[in-house]
């Protein structure tokens, strides 16, 4: 009897999570899609964003979101993967026990703190060293790259550890060096876990808002170089929702719908990659 109650209760809680996800999805599309039809697809995919005067073009923001996310991955993947390989294969237990919690601590730092560090240290550094406004694709990429490190490191690390030891022993037995073992055997064997970590990191990067608003500069123009300012979809929603009414508000929900679609597509690609054997 008690088992039955517990089962039903757990089922209800599990379903409520799924239902809230469905409600959010429905709400975002229901608020956003009408505007896309009203403004017309041509207007919606143009470069002119002036939502209080009938310009609903989100192209520059889509490009901005993708650029910043790509930049974050360019920073996050090499460092994250290197850290995971070092921790899993090249370090002693003592080092693992110290370093892993420290890297995971990065995930606990609020994004506004990352943004603040970006404004105070990174932005002036970029401005003085490379020129431009400092508020740039580069600054956002570096900060986001650091923010997604803990995700990439811990999931890749777990994936590497999950590779059975017999693989390593077999590899050494045929005379492979440790490095050859890692590159030729362990990385391919742990591929699906590593890709999952990268995809999760990418999801965080494309959805991150606060830190990006603070350091990306938010200029609407499509950046000509990584030293130029950039505006992402999430930034636009957060920047403008406070004052938005009518069509402007609808346009922001339309941005949310597009963001949703981008994330769904990325996830589908990720699932495809990880399930391919």
Interface positions with another protein (CB under 8 A): 49-52, 60, 119-120, 123-124, 127-128, 131-135, 213-214, 217-221, 229, 231, 238-240, 242-245, 248
Nearer to another protein among residue 42 and residue 242 (C-beta) = 242
Nearer to another protein among residue 34 and residue 133 (C-beta) = 133
Residue with tokens 């406004």: 133
Nearer to another protein among residue 158 and residue 240 (C-beta) = 240
Q: How far is the C-alpha of 56 from the C-alpha of 85, rounded, in Å?
A: 46
Residue 217, beta-bridge partner list: 230
Nearer to another protein among residue 3 and residue 128 (C-beta) = 128
Neighbours of 125 (CB within 10 A): 14
Residue 167 CA: distances (Å) to CA of 6, 119, 174: 42, 47, 11
Residue 10 CA: distances (Å) to CA of 23, 203, 220: 20, 28, 47
Nearest distance from C-beta of residue 238 to another protein, angstroms: 7
Nearest distance from C-beta of residue 45 to another protein, angstroms: 16
Residue 188 CA: distances (Å) to CA of 9, 104, 182, 194, 253: 41, 24, 9, 9, 40
Nearest distance from C-beta of residue 235 to another protein, angstroms: 8
Nearest distance from C-beta of residue 134 to another protein, angstroms: 7
Nearest distance from C-beta of residue 233 to another protein, angstroms: 14
- What single DSSP character describes residue 48? -
Nearer to another protein among residue 227 and residue 259 (C-beta) = 227
Residue 230, beta-bridge partner list: 217
Nearest distance from C-beta of residue 64 to another protein, angstroms: 12
Nearer to another protein among residue 38 and residue 127 (C-beta) = 127
Residue 223, SS3 per DSSP: coil
Backbone φ, ψ for residue 226 (5° rounding): -75, -5
Nearest distance from C-beta of residue 70 to another protein, angstroms: 22
Nearer to another protein among residue 89 and residue 247 (C-beta) = 247
Which residues lie closer than 8 Å to 178 by C-beta, 6 or more apart?
89, 90
Backbone φ, ψ for residue 50 (5° rounding): -145, 70
């Amino acid at each position: 009897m008690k088992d039955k109650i517990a089962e039903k209760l757990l089922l209800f809680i599990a379903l409520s999570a799924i239902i809230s996800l469905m409600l959010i999805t429905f709400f975002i599309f229901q608020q956003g899609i009408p505007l896309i039809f009203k403004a017309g697809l041509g207007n919606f995919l143009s470069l002119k964003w002036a939502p209080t005067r009938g310009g609903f073009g989100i192209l520059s923001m889509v490009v901005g979101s993708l650029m910043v996310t790509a930049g974050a991955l360019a920073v996050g993947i090499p460092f994250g993967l290197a850290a995971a390989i070092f921790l899993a294969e090249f370090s002693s237990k003592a080092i693992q026990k110290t370093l892993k919690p420290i890297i995971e601590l990065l995930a606990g730092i609020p994004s506004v703190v990352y943004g603040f560090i970006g404004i105070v240290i990174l932005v002036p550094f970029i401005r003085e060293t490379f020129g431009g406004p400092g508020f740039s694709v580069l600054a956002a990429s570096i900060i986001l790259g650091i923010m997604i490190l803990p995700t990439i490191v811990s999931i890749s690390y777990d994936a590497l550890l999950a590779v059975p030891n017999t693989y390593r022993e077999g590899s050494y037995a045929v005379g492979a060096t440790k490095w050859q073992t890692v590159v030729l055997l362990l990385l391919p064997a742990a591929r699906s876990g590593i890709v999952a970590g990268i995809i999760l990191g990418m999801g965080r990067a494309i959805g991150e808002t606060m830190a990006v608003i603070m350091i990306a500069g938010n200029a609407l123009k499509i950046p000509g170089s990584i030293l130029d300012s950039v505006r992402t979809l999430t930034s636009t929603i957060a920047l403008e929702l406070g004052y938005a009414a009518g069509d402007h508000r609808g346009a922001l929900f339309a941005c949310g719908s597009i963001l949703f679609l981008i994330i769904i597509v990325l996830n589908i690609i990720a699932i495809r990659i990880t399930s391919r054997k």
